[in-house]
Homo-oligomer: A and B are copies of this chain.
Amino acid sequence: MSYTEELGKRAKAAESAIASASALMKNGALAAISEALMKNADAIISENAKDLLAAKENGMSEAMQDRLRLDEKRIAGMAQGVDELIALNDPIGEIIEGFTRPNGLRISKTRVPLGVIGIIFESRPNVTVDAAALCLKAGNVVILKGGKEAINSNICLGRIMRKAVEDSGLPADVIQVVENTSRETTNELMRLNGYLDVLIPRGSGRLIQAVVNTATVPVIETGTGNCHVYVDASADPEMAADIVENGKTQRPSVCNAVESLLVHKECAEKILPIIAERLYKHNVKIYGCDITASILGNSVKKAGDEEYAAEFLDYIISIKVVDNIDEAIAHISRFGTKHSECIVTSSLANAERFQRCIDAAAVYVNASTRFTDGGEFGFGAEIGISTQKLHARGPMGLKELTTIKYLINGDGQIR
């Protein structure tokens, strides 16, 4: 039996215990995890130090090293994240709807766990804890495959969580960390049909593309965001500047950050300098069309299809002056990734038109795209932002980690 098959078999064996566990039981396991993380902070930090040392030796950038680093404060943050899940409603057992058919059959549509969830992610080790806790709360078994640069941290976090889960009376195998980081193992995981009910890749566009191309198990694509702000002719200039500045610079490395700005030609001359001033404060580099360059001057670099398609995840933005809302919509349809798109306008007709015509998970009128987030939507927690249309779209909370089961009760009905 291959290593991944063994993981799958163990996951299956743990499935029914967690699926039928009461909210009380699951919350007990979460509390135990949180406590164990705090208690074992020293061990986590010392395993994390091995990863950091290797990272330094391999010449990893400072920014990436920072993402990899775990300290007392970050461990406390992870533990707090787990604690916060305890307060959330258990999605399992909800009767979503129910009805009685003319023949007397009573049909209930109930919420049940998905089963076994695989998560493939990159460097940040906190995902190991976040994802495991979310999956557990929703009654699922999880198999976690993190990046090899965080392998020591991830294995350590996995061991601590597994022990806590076991001590609380659930099978340790509810949480499994893949200890073999070879590409072969990853590919096997993507084809673990019969064991994995869904695979969720979290990370770069390249990772997600690789999963989509290789996987034969159902996949939920997450998080590639080439998000636009379209500033309409009637936009309030200060509001437009606030929204663009916030979207681009508040946290440029995340998927709901703004990557591209479209400005109606009628207001471009007035609004672009206001926006540019805000962006230059943060040293944002601008790629723009010819009109943008003619308004903002020499510091603007020439933007082509490549820049308009790019998810920079950095202090870089592309700008295009458009003739009208139709051109804005067409541009977004061509270059957008169906994540989050925004119009700044005071025209009711244009606001409605934009929301109707743009095909994306979240379509904003006069608000920052940075709000596409489980926490900001009030879901309490999220496993990622789905950019596909099946099953889940936009921020995925606990409910998105569940499926349904019809229960049908009769007294001998036949067709």
Contact = CB atoms under 8 A, between A and B. Distances in A.
A40 interface: no
Contacts of A363: 405-408
A389 interface: yes
A94 to B, nearest CB: 14
Contacts of A365: 407-410
Given A198-B389, A357-B16, A378-B101, A409 B367 contact: yes
B405 A115 contact: no
Looking at chain A's contact residues, the main secondary structure is mixed
Contacts of A198: 389-390
Give the bracket for the number of chain A residues in contact with chain B. 35 or more
Interface stretch (A50-58, A150-158, A173-181, A216-224): A216-224
A403 interface: yes
Given A390-B218, A414-B370, A408 B357 contact: no
A139 to B, nearest CB: 12
Interface string A166-205: 0000000000000000000000000001000110000000
For A362, A367, A393, the residue with the greatest tally of chain B CB atoms inside 10 Å of its CB is A367
For A218, A245, A355, A389, the residue with the greatest tally of chain B CB atoms inside 10 Å of its CB is A389
Interface in A210-249: 212-213, 216, 218-220, 236, 239, 242-243, 245-247
A315 interface: no
Given A212-B193, A361-B406, A412-B242, A20 B356 contact: yes
Contacts of A34: none
B408 A246 contact: no
A409 B391 CA distance: 24
A237 to B, nearest CB: 11
A410 to B, nearest CB: 3
Contact of A366 (B360, B404, B412): B412
A114 interface: yes
A395 to B, nearest CB: 8
A228 B355 CA distance: 47
A393 B389 contact: no
